[in-house]
Structure 1
Amino acid sequence: MNSISQVQSQMLDRMHELQAASSGMPVRPPVDASAEAGPVQAFTDILRAIDTEQHRASQAVADVDSGKSKDLVGAMVQSQKASLSFAALLQVRNKMSSAFDEIMRMPI
């Protein structure tokens, strides 16, 4: 299984855990992803997964536009998933940027 598939699988597992938590089922404890690979590698994998998701959504919408596919609902769901993933990535980037700014403003 390649790294993008692993990241997608981890994200899907997390989504299922959140669904289970919202329905009252017990949630398993989080797995430390940094133990397997460094944080930089994990972040790179997430970036690649989000990029792949964006490309797949664009291709699905293009296929519907050109008439190659009739799955409009599937294309819109993929588009919304890609949009949500990108929005979450931007929030992480903003948090990291503000944390870096905060560290830089600390007196020595």
Structure 2
Amino acid sequence: MAIENTGSSMATQIQADLAQIQNQARLHDALAGGNETEALSFPDAFRQAVQSVNEQDRLAGERMAAVDSGESDDLVGAMLSSQEAGLSFSMLMQVRNKVVGAVDELLKLQL
């Protein structure tokens, strides 16, 4: 259960970072006079990725709970789902860290 709480707090942090990036993109567009729909395409894609990883984690949890309660005997499938969800979350965190680093670098640029 502690893992789910950690994942939930990480998801909350990711959503907060996503909102910050989205606000910065809007500000940049307003200053540049660009089209706002272009700036929203990446955050929407990232939001979908977060939702997909969350869904994988939820399904893996359900499969593990079914094995724990004796409703299912597919231990291998449950473990594979759990590992897949863990790898997806790790990959999402790496992408998030790269995006946040790139945004920080862009903000350091002098115009």
TM above 0.5: yes
Q: Distance in 1 between matches of 2:107 and 2:99?
A: 12
Paired residue total: 73
CA RMSD of aligned residues (A): 1.8
Query: Does residue 103 of structure 1 match 2:106?
Result: yes
Q: Distance in 2 between matches of 1:48 and 1:105?
A: 30
Deviation at 1:49, TM superposition (A): 1.0
Aligned equivalent of 1:94: 97
Q: Distance in 2 between matches of 1:43 and 1:60?
A: 26
TM-score, structure 1 as length reference:
0.62
Aligned equivalent of 2:60: 57
Q: In the alignment, which of 82, 85, 89 is matched to residue 82 of structure 1?
A: 85
Deviation at 1:41, TM superposition (A): 2.3
Structure with greater proportional helix content: 2
Deviation at 1:38, TM superposition (A): 2.6
Deviation by residue 1:19-72 (Cα, 9 ceiling, x = unmatched)? xxxxxxxxxxxxxxxxxx932322222111111100000111111111111000
* Structure 1 unpaired stretches of 5+: 1-36
Letter in 1 for 2:76: V
Deviation at 1:104, TM superposition (A): 1.6
Runs of 4+ in 1 over 4 A off after TM superposition: none
Aligned equivalent of 1:7: none
Q: Distance in 2 between matches of 1:89 and 1:100?
A: 16
Identity of aligned residues (%): 42
Q: Distance in 1 between matches of 2:44 and 2:104?
A: 23
Deviation at 1:107, TM superposition (A): 2.5
TM-score, structure 2 as length reference:
0.60
Letter in 2 for 1:58: G
